[in-house]
Amino acid sequence: MKQATLWYVTPPTAEQLARLKAFLAKEMGDAEVELTMEKDSSLVSGFVLRTDLKEYDWSMRGRVGQLRNALGVVHGRKPKKTVANLKKCIEEFELTAGAMEYGVVTFVGDGIATVEGLDHACYGEIVTFECGVKGMVMDIRRDEIGVILFGRDTEIREGTSVFRSYRMAGVPVGDGFIGRIVDALGSPIDGEGEIVAADFRPLEMAAPGIMDRQPVTTSLETGILAIDSMFPIGRGQRELIIGDRQTGKTSIALDTILNQKGKNVICVYVAIGQKASTIASLVTTLRNAGAMDYTVIVSSTASEPAPLQYIAPYSGTAIAEYFMYSGRDVLIVYDDLSKHAVSYRAISLLLERSPGREAYPGDVFYLHSRLLERASRLSDELGGGSLTALPIIETQNGDVSAYIPTNVISITDGQIYLESELFFEGQRPAVNVGLSVSRVGGAAQAPSMKQAAGTVRIDLAQYREMEVFTQFSSELDETTKRQLEHGRALMELLKQPLCHSLSLPEQVLLLQGANHQVFSGLKPKEILNLKDSYLKYMRVNFPTLINELEQGTKLKKSQIDRIVAGGKQWRDWLSQEAAEATADDANAPDAVIAVNPEDGADEEA
């Protein structure tokens, strides 16, 4: 015999009771149904009928709850809608009394709830607790499901009812998100009002298939000479930025976002487990540079629960995919996936999943692969949009063989490895040329850049090798000296301050100048400061050449000759300026020549 419960305010009549039992017999497939009746004055009016799996709510309390949900009121907070939208919601509100599948909480704690009774709930489905808090189905077992909570669990306790929403977890998307800061659920947190959404996309989406993609052939310039010359990034690529803490990983991502200004690229920055002060500083930098006009920031700070940190990169990807499928180019930065894996590990351990290597669950590889595989360049039939991913991974003491780093390295199309030793030596960005690679290669590189950067990696490798051996040698031949000077000049040219992006013509000018010994013979400490002088001289005296280099086509011999000639003229001008400055100093009225009585040498006082 099956059981059902009826809560009422006014007892039903005999006729109403008979009709209820007939309905239950039909609904539950059993002629004998034991109906338990309880009086509940909190319903105000009407009744609530509950079976093993469903609940039928036709009470005043239920009607008020439906209206509150329609208006977006939770826990007594003010609705996140304008007065006009509230009026529209009330006018269009329709009361329903449909069946809702429900379950009961058996355990709650640490942002996790275990629920019995929701036998048909799907993985990734949103469920709602009777107090208004929402959660997502994360674990499905034979007799119960595990739910991660998107709010506080202070009002959830054992016995609390949970209802299915029949909707998969997702976030609102649209052009209105550009220039805004939102949380992992897509709600604005910048205090600039409500965001008008154009669509709703689920967090989990299948990655585009092979036939839906096209090869990565268009470059996405970072504005960083060390990266664009040796490790080019293409639109639709996944390039990992990896290194120890405080080695400039976020700085590279930030420079890349700043360099997209005026290039019709939408940027999405996902902050996972970062300090709120760090995110505020980054937002200030973007706003001062005018980059927030094309950037969306998805923030899940370190103070937020692990479930929100877990869904943050999926939310950011859903927002980015809206722009990609509308035919636009998008850059998304995940900062960082190490903290994302830690939050997933915490959730998995609370759900009592078996731990594996480094206590991570067995599906932690799939966690990041299904996220990063969504980065692609779509075929022309699908609009030709692209999604370029720059995931960031933090290593411990340079250990790239740890579990999460090796996983993400195997998923991505290359990595930019930042070395602590180079960073402390003053080489910034501290890119390790030997361990960094871009598996897309020159396919996504401008022909002029490919031509200019042809031997840079080899020259740097030879310089590093010679530098080690010359420490034990006092006499060097002229060829070795020239190679060492050229290598030192390259190392200085690759130094680049933060928020100081270089355009394609500027990068080509620097590399071609270095290849033709324009900077050789200069003191290494002077090259970083003289680099701007060289570029300014070329812009003023060779404007036509700059315009030609903007096209990115393969360099002609005449263009290379003009670059070399411009470099020589700049060196002559530099020498002339130095000579005039020396002469001015010598003719200064306060310059006094004194004689040292000990050695008779002239000194300028």
For 343, half-sphere exposure in the C-beta direction (CA atoms, 13 angstrom radius) is: 26
- pLDDT at 348 > cutoff 50: yes
Amino acid occupying residue 164: R
Q: What does the pLDDT look like over 416-447, one tens digit per residue?
A: 999 999 999 889 999 998 899 999 878 888 99
- Residue 397 inside a domain? The answer is yes
Q: Which amino acid is at 186?
A: G
Q: Which residues are catalytically annotated? A: 439
Decide if 470 is inside a domain: yes
pLDDT band at 92 (very low <50, low <70, confident <90, very high): low
Q: What does the alpha-carbon distance between residue 247 and residue 423 come to, in Å, rounded to a whole number?
A: 6
In a domain, 450, yes or no: no
Q: Which of 497, 537, 479 shows the shortest CA–CA distance to 513?
A: 537
Among 7-21, 302-316, 388-402, which stretch is predicted with the lowest mean pLDDT? Answer: 7-21
Q: Are strands 144-149 and 134-140 parallel, antiparallel or unpaired?
A: antiparallel
Stretch 342-359: mean pLDDT, rounded? Answer: 93
Tokens 């100081």, located at residue = 500
Query: Positive or negative CA dihedral for 220, 225, 229, 232?
Result: negative
Q: What is the pLDDT at residue 102?
A: 81
Higher-pLDDT residue of 577, 411: 411
Tell me: do 312 and 270 sit in the same domain: yes
Assess whether pLDDT exceeds 60 at residue 599.
no
pLDDT at 579 over 90: no
pLDDT of residue 75: 41
Say whether pLDDT at 539 is over 70.
Answer: yes
Residues 263 and 147 in one domain: no
- Domain enclosing residue 121, as ranges: 2-167
Per the model's pLDDT, the better-predicted residue between 213 and 94 turns out to be 213
Give the pLDDT score at 52.
66
Banded model confidence at residue 93, pLDDT cuts 50, 70, 90: very low
Q: Higher-confidence residue: 19 or 265? A: 265
Predicted confidence (pLDDT) per residue in 138-165, tens digit? 999 988 999 999 988 888 999 898 988 8
CATH no. for residue 564?
1.20.150.20
Predicted confidence (pLDDT) at residue 78 exceeds the cutoff of 70: no
In this structure, is residue 62 part of a structural domain?
yes
Task: Note the pLDDT tens digit of each residue in 274-314.
Answer: 999 999 999 999 999 999 999 999 999 999 999 999 999 99
User: Which of 13-17, 48-52, 141-145, 331-335 is modeled with the greatest confidence?
Assistant: 331-335
Residue 352 has pLDDT above 60, yes or no: yes
What is the average pLDDT score of the chain?
A: 86
Same domain, 142 and 181: no
Least reliable range by pLDDT among 3-17, 233-247, 459-473: 459-473
Reduce the DSSP state of residue 599 to 3 states and report it: coil
Domain finish residue from 422, 445, 468: 445
User: Would you place residue 472 in the very low, low, confident or very high pLDDT band (cuts 50, 70, 90)?
Assistant: low
Looking at residues 322-335, what average pLDDT do you find? 96
Please tell me the distance from the alpha carbon of residue 338 to that of residue 393, in angstroms, as a whole number.
5
pLDDT classification of 264: cutoffs 50, 70, 90: very high
CA–CA separation, 125 and 135 (whole Å): 8
What is the tens place of the pLDDT at every residue in 360-387? 999 999 999 999 999 999 999 999 999 9
pLDDT confidence of residue 605: 32
Residue 87: the pLDDT is 60
Separation between Cα atoms, residue 452 and residue 527, nearest integer Å: 19
The predicted pLDDT at position 368 comes to 96
Decide which of 414, 445, 476 is a domain's last residue. 445
- Is residue 281 domain-shared with residue 369, that is, in the same domain? yes
CATH number, residue 366: 3.40.50.300
Give the full edge-to-edge strand order of the sheet including 265-272.
181-182, 295-300, 265-272, 329-335, 386-394, 240-243, 414-418, 437-438
> Does residue 77 carry a pLDDT above 50?
no
Predicted pLDDT of residue 170: 93
Please, are residues 292 and 179 in contact by the beta-carbon 8 Å criterion?
yes
CATH number at residue 91: 2.40.30.20
Same domain, 228 and 144: no
Residue of 145 and 457 predicted with greater confidence: 145
Residues 100 and 247 in one domain: no
Domain identity same for 375 and 520: no
275 and 423 share a domain? Answer: yes
Cα separation, 229 vs 227, whole angstroms = 5
Q: Which of 401, 372, 400 is nearest to 387 (CA)?
A: 372
In a domain, 386, yes or no: yes
Q: Which helix (H) or strand (E) holds 25?
A: helix 14-28
Q: Does 132 share its domain with 8? A: yes
Question: Is residue 206 domain-resident?
Answer: no
Shared-domain flag, residues 7 and 32: yes
- Given this model, what pLDDT does residue 486 score? 84
Q: Are residues 308 and 180 in the same domain?
A: yes
Domain boundary among 445, 477, 500: 445
Residue 194 lies in a domain: no
- Residues 129 and 180 placed together within one structural domain of the fold: no
- Interval 471-477 mean pLDDT: 68
How far is residue 180's CA from residue 298's CA, in Å, rounded to a whole number? 9
Percent of the chain surpassing pLDDT 90 = 58
In the chain, the number of structural domains is 3
- Domain assignment present for residue 346? The answer is yes
pLDDT at position 53, please? Answer: 63
pTM for the structure as a whole: 0.82
> In sequence order, what are the residues at sequence separation of 6 or more whose Cβ sits closer than 8 angstroms to the Cβ of residue 46?
9, 58, 59, 60, 62, 63
